[in-house]
Homo-oligomer: A and B are copies of this chain.
């Protein structure tokens, strides 16, 4: 599998007339070699040369674990800094990832090497998931849905956002999550207008809605689900928003098929929300690809000219955030299939009351 992925990249190297390609994001290194995914840390750099040699330079700290897990690559321990070490291997005209390479790294290489942006190619490779990748995402999604169900069962009066997050995360772990796909979102009442609202000590009050956006990680792959649930009887306007968002989301899912443009899908959601008068409160894109990164290409939004393709796994997550009223977001994970899509999410979208 890793060899095959490297082979595809070699074709690109040849086509672009490069001496090799330098991979600095942990996610792409994991994708190409299986080396452990240590998030938020620059501790590895991969060089794939046009003759098919692959060198994975790591710090002493990560050497043993990388040696035990990485496949189809020569693991090299860096004694004097990753970039210094990699200079021993790299050629003169080299592809690089312009988003994961920061200015410092770029500067330290540019004097001796011509650097050619190559992120897009790797992004595109990763967009189309193979069977095993889909399997892992599905398993991670199952864990997450079960955790959502069990976590909500534990809901009780006087609970804070943080306490609810505790239950949700606990069950993700219990059901086998090796980590989280992203920082858990629990945003209730007035805080539900913050799409990124992380949990705070605020108590969840009767009559409030709660946006829950969670994801697990399994063998490197992410899941993602959002539901908006209610503690006690909600206000009338939030019920109408809920209905609008569910309708918009389901209409999009019905419309997904290979070949449809991302912006077309986004438009379907916006038009339904417009009928309800909520379109101006839909303040983010419709969805995103998911895989080793929780947010990866394709990004489905109103500017997206790309078409969705068989093997894409994408989120569909319209949301309405109305000042002084509250927010609702509903998110499923779907796999684009021949002629349509398969929803990888089974959790109900019926009105859900907790407590």
Chain-B contact segment, one of A82-90, A126-134, A188-196: A188-196
Contact assessment for B65 and A196 in the assembled complex, using a CB-CB cutoff below 8 Å: yes
Contact assessment for B284 and A61 in the assembled complex, using a CB-CB cutoff below 8 Å: yes
CB within 8 A of A196: which of B38, B101, B182, B197?
B38
If A106-B103, A197-B65 touch, whether A162 touches B183 (CB-CB below 8 Å) is no
Contact assessment for B162 and A166 in the assembled complex, using a CB-CB cutoff below 8 Å: no
Copies in the complex: 2
- Residues 261-310 (chain A) with a chain B CB within 8 angstroms: 283-284, 295
| Bound-complex Cα distance A162 to B219 (A) | 13
| Bound-complex Cα distance A41 to B181 (A) | 13
Residue of B nearest to A59 (CB): B284
A165 interface residue, CB < 8 Å from B?
Answer: yes
A99 interface residue, CB < 8 Å from B?
Answer: yes
Residue of B nearest to A197 (CB): B65
Query: Smallest Cβ distance from A241 to chain B, in angstroms?
Result: 16
Contact assessment for B195 and A177 in the assembled complex, using a CB-CB cutoff below 8 Å: no
If A173-B166, A178-B199 touch, whether A194 touches B104 (CB-CB below 8 Å) is no
A39 interface residue, CB < 8 Å from B?
Answer: yes
Residue of B nearest to A117 (CB): B103
Which residues of B lie under 8 Å from residue A60 when comparing CB positions?
283-284
Mask: chain A, 216-260; 1 = CB below 8 Å from B; 0 = not: 000000000000000000000000000000000000000000000
Which residues of B lie under 8 Å from residue A174 when comparing CB positions?
163, 166
If A39-B183, A162-B176 touch, whether A61 touches B196 (CB-CB below 8 Å) is yes
Residue of B nearest to A37 (CB): B198
- Give me the 4 closest cross-chain CB pairs, A-B, nearest first: A166-B173, A65-B194, A60-B283, A98-B103
Interface residues of A (CB under 8 A from B): 36, 38-41, 43, 59-65, 68, 96, 98-104, 106-107, 117, 162-163, 165-166, 169-170, 173-174, 176-179, 182-184, 193-201, 283-284, 295, 321, 323
Pull 5 A–B residue pairs with CB atoms less than 8 Å apart, ordered by A: A98-B103, A103-B103, A106-B106, A162-B176, A176-B201
A sample of 4 more A-B contacts (CB under 8 A), given A59-B284, A162-B177, A169-B170, is A41-B295, A63-B283, A98-B107, A176-B201
